[in-house]
């Protein structure tokens, strides 16, 4: 019962570096998403996907890239890290009805990123 | 744009008291509303999911109600325990989930 697994749990980057946050789920969920959580800002949607090969932007997509080649995996790429991207990142998944996320959302444990 | 508000931002109660957490949302055209618990440094754990056609959901000591017409949901936690201390978040799903900022609960032994 792994659920939603995120790696790494902690990461420190220098400004301008790139990296990929990994997310995998074993519940055969079509819907997967990435959020960032910042003090005073709550959880904000970065990108989401309703199935393999389908991705779309959320509320704060700039500086991030995603792809969905399999049902299980949904990596988040930081193209050129900036201090403003220091945050806690959460991956979440759920089942869908049609192309709409209507199910219970399950979260990973989070990836804590610091950009110096 | 959906706006979700949770009041109060923080709550401290003695053990055994019932907890009432409020969530309001601006757009009533939602598919469902979900309540989560978050412990410090941890991810979000789903507590209850209420579909738009439902008025309430119950799980153990937890009961959540939904009034779409007034844009409100309430989470009740009966007979609170110190282990209930956490941040509770609600999220309204109108295709994309919008989260409230959460209510941080402290239950004093």
Mean pLDDT calculated for residue range B75-87 = 97
Q: Does residue A65 have a pLDDT over 80?
A: yes
* Percent of chain A surpassing pLDDT 90: 84
Interface probe with A: pick from B43, B46, B59, B94, most Cβ of A within 10 Å = B43
Distance of CA B85 to the CA centre of its chain: 13
* A104, B95 contact by CB (below 8 A): no
CA angle, residues B74, B95, B92, in degrees to nearest 5: 15
Would the pLDDT of A100 be above 90?
A: no
| Contact assignment for A102 to B99 by CB distance below 8 Å | no
> What is the helix (H) or strand (E) element at residue B53, kind and residue range?
none
Count A/B contacts: CB-CB distance under 8 Å. Answer: 49
Structure tokens at B67: 């009034």
Q: Cβ separation of A104 and B49 shorter than 8 Å? A: yes
What's the average model confidence in pLDDT over A63-76? 97
User: Which of A112, A109, A104, A87 shows the shortest CA–CA distance to A29?
Assistant: A104
Distance CA(B51)–CA(B15), nearest Å, equals 31
Decide if A103 touches B, using CB distance below 8 A. yes
Q: Closest Cα to residue A36, out of A71, A18, A67, A63?
A: A63
User: pLDDT averaged over chain A?
Assistant: 93
- Of A93-102, B69-78, B92-101, the range with the highest mean pLDDT is B69-78
| Binary contact (A106, B89; C-beta < 8 A) | no
Q: Which two tokens stand for residue B99?
A: 């989260």
- Predicted confidence (pLDDT) at residue A40 exceeds the cutoff of 90: no
Cβ atoms within 10 Å, residue B22: 15
Mean pLDDT of chain B: 95
Residue A30 Rama label (left phi>0; alpha psi -120 to 50; beta):
alpha
Contacts of A98 in chain B (CB under 8 A): none
**Contact call for A109 and B49, based on CB within 8 A:** no
Assign B14 a pLDDT band (cuts: 50, 70, 90).
very high
User: A 6-65 residues with CB below 8 A of B?
Assistant: 33, 40, 42-43, 45, 48, 58-59
In the stretch 74-93 of chain A, residues with CB closer than 8 A to chain B read 90, 92
Residue with tokens 């507590």: B47
Task: From B107, B50, B42, select the one nearest B80 (Cα to Cα).
Answer: B107
* β-pair type (B10-14, A31-38): unpaired
Q: Which residue of B has its CA nearest to A89?
A: B43
| pLDDT score at A56 | 93
- Is pLDDT of A19 > 70? yes
Using 50, 70 and 90 to split pLDDT, how confident is the model at A33? very high
Sign of CA dihedral B13, B99, B31, A34: negative
- CB atoms A110 and B43 under 8 Å: yes
Query: Predicted confidence band at A97 (pLDDT cuts at 50, 70, 90)?
Result: low
Element (H, E) at A21: strand A19-25
Please give the pLDDT value at position A15. Answer: 97
Predicted confidence band of residue A10 (pLDDT cuts 50, 70, 90): very high
Smallest Cα distance from B46 to chain A, Å: 7
């Amino acid at each position: 019962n792994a659920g939603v697994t995120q790696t790494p749990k902690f990461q420190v980057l220098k400004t301008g570096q790139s990296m990929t946050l990994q997310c995998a789920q074993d519940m055969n969920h079509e819907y997967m998403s990435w959020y960032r959580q910042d003090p005073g800002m709550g959880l904000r949607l970065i990108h989401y996907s309703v199935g393999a090969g389908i991705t779309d932007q959320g509320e704060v997509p700039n500086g991030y890239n995603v792809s969905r080649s399999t049902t299980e995996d949904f990596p988040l790429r930081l193209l050129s890290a900036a201090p403003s991207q220091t945050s806690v990142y959460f991956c979440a998944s759920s089942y869908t009805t049609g192309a709409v996320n209507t199910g219970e959302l399950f979260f990973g444990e989070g990836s804590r990123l610091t950009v110096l | 744009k959906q706006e979700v508000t949770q009041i109060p931002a923080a709550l401290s109660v003695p053990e055994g008291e019932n907890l009432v957490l409020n969530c309001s949302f601006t757009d009533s055209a939602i598919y469902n509303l979900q309540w989560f618990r978050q412990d410090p440094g941890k991810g979000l754990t789903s507590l209850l999911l209420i579909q738009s056609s439902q008025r309430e959901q119950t799980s153990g000591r937890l009961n959540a109600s939904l009034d779409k017409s007034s844009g409100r949901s309430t989470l009740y936690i009966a007979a609170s325990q110190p282990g209930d201390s956490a941040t509770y978040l609600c999220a309204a799903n109108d295709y994309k989930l919008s989260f409230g900022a959460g209510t941080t609960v402290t239950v004093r032994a």
